[in-house]
Amino acid sequence: MALRFLKLLAPALLLLIAAGLLIDPVAQLPAAHKLTLSQLPYALATGVALMAYGFNRNQILFATLNLISAYLLIQLGLQVSLDQPGAYVLFSALSLLVPINITFIATYSEKGLFTPLGLTRLGGVLLGYILLLLLWSNEALAGQLPNLPTNMFEMFIDGRFLSNMAAVFFGVALITNLIYFITQRGYGSTGVLISLIASLGIFIWFDQPNISTLLITAALIGMGISVVQSSHKMAYLDELTEIPARRALQDKLATLGKRYTIAMVDIDHFKKFNDTYGHDIGDQVLRMVAAKLATVSGGGKAYRYGGEEFTLVFPGKDEAQALPFVEQIRELIANYPMYIRSDNRPEDEKKGAQMRNNKANADYTSVTISIGVCEKTDEYADPMAVIKEADNALYEAKKNGRNQSVAAHYKPEAPKRRRTRKDYA
- What b-and-e string marks burial along 208-225, b requiring 16 or more CB atoms within 10 Å of the CB? bebbbbbbbbbbbbbbbb
Please tell me the predicted confidence (pLDDT) of residue 183. 81
The DSSP letter of residue 142 is: G
Please tell me the predicted confidence (pLDDT) of residue 351. 52
Please tell me the predicted confidence (pLDDT) of residue 1. 54
Q: Catalytic residue among 139, 154, 242, 308, which?
A: 308
Distance in angstroms (rounded) separating the CA atoms of residues 370 and 327: 10
Which run of H or of E encompasses 274?
Answer: helix 270-277
Question: Where exactly are the structural domains of the chain?
Answer: 2-236, 246-407
> At a CB cut-off of 8 Å and minimum separation 6, what does 286 contact?
240, 241, 267, 308
What is the distance in angstroms between the CA of the first residue and the CA of the last residue of the chain?
A: 63
Q: In DSSP terms, which residues pair with 155 in a beta bridge?
A: 163
Look up the pTM and report it: 0.72
Closest-CA residue to 227 (of 5, 63, 3): 63
Q: Could you tell me if 240 and 252 are in contact, meaning their C-beta atoms sit under 8 angstroms apart?
A: no
Strand pairing category for 369-375 and 405-407: parallel
Please tell me the predicted confidence (pLDDT) of residue 66. 96
Largest CA-CA distance found in the chain, in angstroms, rounded: 112
Q: Could you tell me if 136 and 73 are in contact, meaning their C-beta atoms sit under 8 angstroms apart?
A: yes
Please tell me the predicted confidence (pLDDT) of residue 425. 42
Q: In DSSP terms, which residues pair with 338 in a beta bridge?
A: 365
Phi and psi (nearest 5°) for 412? -65, 145
* Chain center to CA of 8: 7
Please tell me the predicted confidence (pLDDT) of residue 360. 47
Low-confidence ranges of the chain (pLDDT < 70): 1-5, 185, 340-363, 413-425
Amino acid symbol at 342: S
Distance in angstroms (rounded) separating the CA atoms of residues 12 and 10: 6
Please tell me the predicted confidence (pLDDT) of residue 266. 94
Tell me the pLDDT tens digit for each residue of 60-81: 999 999 999 999 999 999 999 9
Distance in angstroms (rounded) separating the CA atoms of residues 419 and 184: 60
Closest-CA residue to 200 (of 101, 277, 95): 95
Amino acid symbol at 235: A
Q: Could you tell me if 125 and 101 are in contact, meaning their C-beta atoms sit under 8 angstroms apart?
A: yes
Distance in angstroms (rounded) separating the CA atoms of residues 304 and 417: 38
What class is the 246-407 domain? alpha beta
139 is catalytic: no
Distance in angstroms (rounded) separating the CA atoms of residues 295 and 336: 14
